[in-house]
């Protein structure tokens, strides 16, 4: 991330926790309460780092009730949405429903959705459009697997996903978008993704947005790193000038660890 002369960041960092298929609604409430208390005790400045959680669909109403009732500063979103608004789509969840539940964000094209459910760039594009119809901010996930990485085609592959997923979007929509790079090649393979990988891909994504739109649009779009982020490495990862935050997986299920990640500035000097 880069900072202005007054110490503020060019783009507000976003630390997002993807709970995946973990935490029933009772567990989710307990986790979110502990997270909020931990951040409050640490006097976390939400203006300097936005904190979001992505619970399972079945937790969202409980999360909404807690956030509204206790006036929490943590925001939340959904892990997926349908490209359709209503109709005979058994098992799908409309963006309209998510908006009614107070969601700010929605994940689109997570690597697990692409790999397990075969989601394409075209479908991601339609889901982004659906998110926009209902005032949700899409967090578009892109990234490459091990074979692509080993072939040296990681940049081309990831940018192809990006282009296909944002096709037809105007500059304002892209500026509001969040892009999360996932190093799929380093998940469960024994390979290790480092801070230099995060910066390389974030810079490539930003350069592509500048090419497709303009420098101003690219400068406004937040780019997150979605690898195995922990409090022990977040400081190094976020030192990359084009990395604006993190999409955190397993570590987000530990309130104290996730709060420590959200307070990444304490790690910038020591890491």
Average pLDDT over residues 158-163: 99
CATH superfamily, region 14-268: Aldolase class I (3.20.20.70)
Distance CA 61, CA 84 (A): 21
Nearest to 225, CA basis, from 250, 207, 242: 242
Q: What is the pLDDT of residues 225-264, one digit of tens each?
A: 998 899 999 999 999 999 999 999 999 999 999 999 999 9
Per-residue pLDDT for 192 more than 90? no
The residue with greater pLDDT, 3 or 205, is 205
- Per-residue pLDDT at 6: 54
What's the whole-number average pLDDT of the chain? 94
Q: What is the pLDDT of residues 62-84, one digit of tens each?
A: 999 999 999 999 999 999 999 99
Average pLDDT over residues 57-65: 99
Domain boundaries, the chain: 14-268
Query: What angle, 0 to 180 degrees and rounded to 10, lies between the N-to-C axes of helices 121-133 and 154-166?
Result: 40
- Per-residue pLDDT at 270: 43
Residue numbers in the known binding site for substrate are 18-20, 188, 228, 249-250
**Phi and psi at residue 73, to the nearest 5°:** -90, -10
Catalytic residue among 119, 182, 208, 257: 182
Q: What is the pLDDT of residues 102-138, one digit of tens each?
A: 999 999 999 999 999 999 999 999 999 999 999 999 9
Is 110 among the residues known to form the active site?
yes
**Phi and psi at residue 231, to the nearest 5°:** -65, -25
Catalytic residue among 44, 50, 110, 208: 110
């Amino acid at each position: 991330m880069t900072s202005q002369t007054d110490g503020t960041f060019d783009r507000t960092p976003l630390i997002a926790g993807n709970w995946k298929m973990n935490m029933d609604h009772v567990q989710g409430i307990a986790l979110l309460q502990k997270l909020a208390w931990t951040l409050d005790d640490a006097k976390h400045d939400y203006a300097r780092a936005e904190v979001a959680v992505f619970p399972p669909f079945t937790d969202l109403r409980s999360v909404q009730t807690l956030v509204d009732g206790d006036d929490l500063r943590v925001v939340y979103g959904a892990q997926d949405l349908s490209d359709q608004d209503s109709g005979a789509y058994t098992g799908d969840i409309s963006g309209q429903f998510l908006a009614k539940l107070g969601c700010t964000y929605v994940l689109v094209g997570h690597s697990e959705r692409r790999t397990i459910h075969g989601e394409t760039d075209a479908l991601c594009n339609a889901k982004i459009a659906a998110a926009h119809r209902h005032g949700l901010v899409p967090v578009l996930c892109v990234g490459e697997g091990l074979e692509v990485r080993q072939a040296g085609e990681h940049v081309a592959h990831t940018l192809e996903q990006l282009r296909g997923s944002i096709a037809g979007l105007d500059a304002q929509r892209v500026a509001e978008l969040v892009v999360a790079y996932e190093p799929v090649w380093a998940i469960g393979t024994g390979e290790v993704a480092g801070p230099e990988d995060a910066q390389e891909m974030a810079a490539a994504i930003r350069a592509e947005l500048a090419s497709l739109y303009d420098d101003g649009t690219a400068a406004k779009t937040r780019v997150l790193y979605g690898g195995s982020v922990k409090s022990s490495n977040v400081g190094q990862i976020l030192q990359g000038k084009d990395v604006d935050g993190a999409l955190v997986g397993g570590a987000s299920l530990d309130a104290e660890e996730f709060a420590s990640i959200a307070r990444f500035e304490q790690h910038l000097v020591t890491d």
